[in-house]
Amino acid sequence: MDKQKKSRVAKKEVIRLERESVIPILKPKLIMTLANLIVDATLLIEHGSDRAEFLKLCKRVEYMIRAWYILQFEDLMQLYSLFDPVHGAQKLEQQRLPPEEIDMLEHNFLTYLFQVMEKSNFKIATEEEIEVALSGQYLLNLPITVDESKLDKKLLGRYFSEHHLDDLPDFSDKYVIFRRGIGIDRTSDYFFMEKVDMIISRVWLKLLRFTRLERFFCRKSPAREKKDPKKNDEISPEAEADELSVERIRIENMELSVRNLAGKITIQEPTFDRIIVVYRRVGTATKPDRGIYVKHFKNIPMADLEIVLPEKKNPGLTPMDWVKFLASAVIGLVAVVGSLDMPKADLWVIIAILSTLIGYCAKTYFTFQQNMAAYQNLITQSMYDKQLDSGRGTLLHLCDDVIQQEKSRNLNTQVKEVIISFFILMEQGKATRQDLDLRCEELIKEEFNEECNFDVDDAVQKLEKLGIVTRDTIGRYYCVGLKRANEIIGTTTEELVLKAKQGALIP
């Protein structure tokens, strides 16, 4: 999801998300279909051996890619043991490493971590995505801010100065939010207080527009004005086909009717299926904190993204609440003084004005208390229900996710991409990178009636690393023969173990 757009059509608020790069075909089905295509290509008997060699190559490719990732994860876990917030400081003291070497180890850990995140299909939330996510309200109706004085700026600031990425959020030097997958969360309730707030907000907005004071109280931030997703008026059919649209149903956009105001309503918010937050707490001048926090959450509503932020401040009344308080007090005071200056002051008018003023202030206060209770409930829920793991547990979860799971852009997806790329080069001959990408997508469409965003760059990089694909003088890719490819890779450890296991079973 490198791009997020939001549009409103007929009072509908829709968030458009780029589809993830996955091949929606089970690996066994893919391999057997391609193997049968080799057999069906000709009636010559030797192609039966080609089919066997192809099946052997597919196994060896998978074994090799899995071995690469296991080695990478071992390095990642070994590095993290030095920066584990619980026991890492003790291990660093035992090794007595100089600060420069610790900085280098930190950098290596972040490099490995970001690579694993990419292979797990996690992406860093960009400035635009954060703006879109936080542009609405869902269950959390309080302004949540981060106490930046408690967060370290050197660790991530140093990393991003050497690994520049576009459209990073302003807070990227203090903490990073990775996100993957999209879901939907729905909540049904009466939302009486929220409906009252919505009515008051609409009346307040109309009053500001009538008095032409809207530009002073409803000013957008420069970043938001620069790239407001709502202003993308036209979306091409090609782009729309590659995107997933999710409707956001909010109380703020609710149609005013007796049925909606008095009855139950259902609000809907797109969610980030998985979120991982990486940060470090600030240390002291004499004892710097080297611990790196890695926290893993699930099913976080976009509009309530603040609940995963680190080192949150206790929420208070918003500036707009204080403006309403002061404005109400001034208006009430002026009305009371004006009534007293009249020749015959009406006591009932004064009581009505004071009652309205006190009632409004009480309503604002109790709304704040209700929001505080909801906030505490959401924080508790995020800790017990929505937080999957933290630290070492998160990294082990990522390891399992990349190597074992069939979903997302993990090892299985990468194996499929490598196999398809090799098959195309083997059957159709030399191809440029663009041609290979197009041919692979056409094969998936023709044989499996599926569409996907094929990542040819990662596939050819692994094929070149295996030594079974090279480039000619003009940059076209070509592969070696099947038998030669198996000879180059050689017998893998998994094959030896399986052979020994089968031999032990034979009496």
Q: Which residues, at least 6 apart from 144, have a Cβ–Cβ distance to it below 8 Å? A: 306, 307, 309, 312, 313, 315, 375
Q: Work out the percent of the chain whose per-residue pLDDT is above 70.
A: 71
pLDDT of residue 59: 93
Q: pLDDT grade, residue 429 (50/70/90)? A: very high
C-alpha 217/C-alpha 220 separation (Å) is 9
- pTM equals 0.73
Q: Which helix (H) or strand (E) holds 25?
A: none
pLDDT of residue 225: 45
The answer to whether the beta carbons of residues 305 and 130 sit under 8 Å apart is yes
pLDDT of residue 213: 62
pLDDT of residue 321: 59
pLDDT of residue 25: 87
Work out the average pLDDT over 220-234.
Answer: 44
Task: Give me the amino acid identity at 468.
Answer: I
- Residue-averaged pLDDT of the chain: 79
pLDDT exceeds cutoff 80 at 222 = no
pLDDT of residue 44: 47
| Ramachandran angles phi, psi of 218, nearest 5° | -120, 45
What Å distances lie between residue 419 and 60, 285, 408, CA to CA?
A: 11, 53, 17
pLDDT of residue 221: 45
C-alpha 487/C-alpha 47 separation (Å) is 18
Q: Which residues, at least 6 apart from 232, have a Cβ–Cβ distance to it below 8 Å? A: 5, 7
C-alpha 128/C-alpha 169 separation (Å) is 8
pLDDT of residue 255: 84
pLDDT of residue 167: 83
pLDDT exceeds cutoff 60 at 360 = yes
The SS3 assignment for 58 reads helix
Beta strand residue intervals within 173-308, DSSP E = 175-189, 243-248, 265-279, 293-301
- Which range has the worst mean pLDDT, 207-221, 275-289, 352-366? 207-221
Closest CA to 177 of 74, 276, 313: 276
What residue has token string 């993830």?
A: 20
List, for residues 302-340, the tens digit of each pLDDT value.
888 888 889 888 766 555 556 666 666 666 666 656 665
294 token code pair: 């890695």
Q: pLDDT grade, residue 434 (50/70/90)? A: very high
C-alpha 404/C-alpha 407 separation (Å) is 9
pLDDT exceeds cutoff 90 at 42 = no
pLDDT of residue 451: 83
pLDDT of residue 333: 64
Q: Which residues, at least 6 apart from 160, have a Cβ–Cβ distance to it below 8 Å? A: 168, 172, 173
